[in-house]
Each structure stands twice: as structure tokens, then as C-alpha cells.
């Protein structure tokens, strides 16, 4: 997801960094990194960033061949999965936007675990 949005796979202080960094790290390491917590006050800015991503944006930025050449997919991933992966990404960003909106309405923060 991060690479599709930014054409970067590493943390570079770009608008979508919250996917792979951001928030406050807390002491529990689960998966690839420590758990990251986002406060309710951070949710509105994330909603603005996510709202900029629509189907056209994903179509323009999704480059399966480039992502595959950079080893951003699992070794089992194949080019014939590209359209399904793109569709999953479109659904995922919509779900993320809905989740963030619910957090805002309820005054909640959230945590992220990359596994």
C-alpha cells in the first residue's frame, strides 16, 4: 500500500507514512515492529490523506512489475494476481477511510501492528 501511494517502500516523511511509521511506538514488539498508537487528535489529518486516494489514483500508481522487481510482494505472488491485488487495494483504502471516520465520530484513536 505504502509503495503504491508514494513510490517509496521506506519511511520518507511523506503523507502516507502512517502506514509504515507514525504514531507513538509503545514497548510491545509484535510482528515486524513495535505497536504504534495513534491518538484521537491524529485521526482527522489521516482522514484527509486517505480521502485523496480514489480508484483513479490507484490505477495510475499501481505498477505490479515495478513492485515485483523491488521484492515488495511475497515470493509466491505472480503477475496474474495483479488485477485482484489492485482490487483488494481499492477495497482496503475504502475500508481504511470508513474505519478512520468511525474513529473520529467516536473520538477514538487506534493502534497499528505490522505482521
Residue 52 lies in a domain: yes
Closest by CA position to 65, among listed 51, 54, 81, 52:
81
| pLDDT above 90: residue 81 | no
**Alpha-carbon torsion, ordered 99, 53, 65, 22, to 10 deg:** -60
Residue 32 lies in a domain: no
Average pLDDT over residues 55-76: 83
Over residues 2-60, the pLDDT tens digits come to 677 766 555 555 556 777 778 888 887 787 788 889 999 999 888 988 888 888 888 88
Residue 101 lies in a domain: yes
Average pLDDT over residues 85-109: 93
Residue 51 lies in a domain: yes
Residue 113 lies in a domain: no
Residue 30 lies in a domain: no
Q: Domain range holding 54?
A: 2-7+14-20+43-106
Neighbours of 2 (CB within 10 A): 19
Using DSSP, state whether 47 is helix, strand or coil.
helix
Burial class (CB within 10 angstroms; exposed 0-12, middle 13-18, buried 19+) of 63 = middle
> How many structural domains comprise the chain?
1
**Alpha-carbon torsion, ordered 39, 42, 44, 49, to 10 deg:** -130
| pLDDT above 60: residue 65 | yes
Residue 77 lies in a domain: yes
Residue 78 lies in a domain: yes
Q: Which pLDDT value is given to residue 67?
A: 82
Amino acid at each position: 500500500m505504502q509503495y503504491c501511494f508514494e513510490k517509496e517502500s521506506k519511511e520518507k516523511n511523506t503523507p502516507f507514512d502512517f502506514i509504515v511509521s507514525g504514531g507513538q511506538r509503545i514497548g510491545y514488539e509484535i510482528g515486524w515492529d513495535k505497536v504504534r498508537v495513534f491518538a484521537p487528535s491524529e485521526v482527522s489529518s489521516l482522514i484527509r490523506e486517505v480521502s485523496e486516494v480514489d480508484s483513479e489514483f490507484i490505477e495510475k500508481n499501481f505498477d505490479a512489475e515495478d513492485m515485483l522487481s523491488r521484492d515488495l510482494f511475497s515470493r509466491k505472488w505472480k503477475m496474474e494476481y495483479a488485477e485482484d491485488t489492485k482490487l483488494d487495494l481499492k477495497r482496503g483504502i475504502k475500508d481504511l477511510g470508513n474505519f478512520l471516520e468511525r474513529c473520529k465520530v467516536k473520538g477514538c484513536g487506534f493502534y497499528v501492528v505490522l505482521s
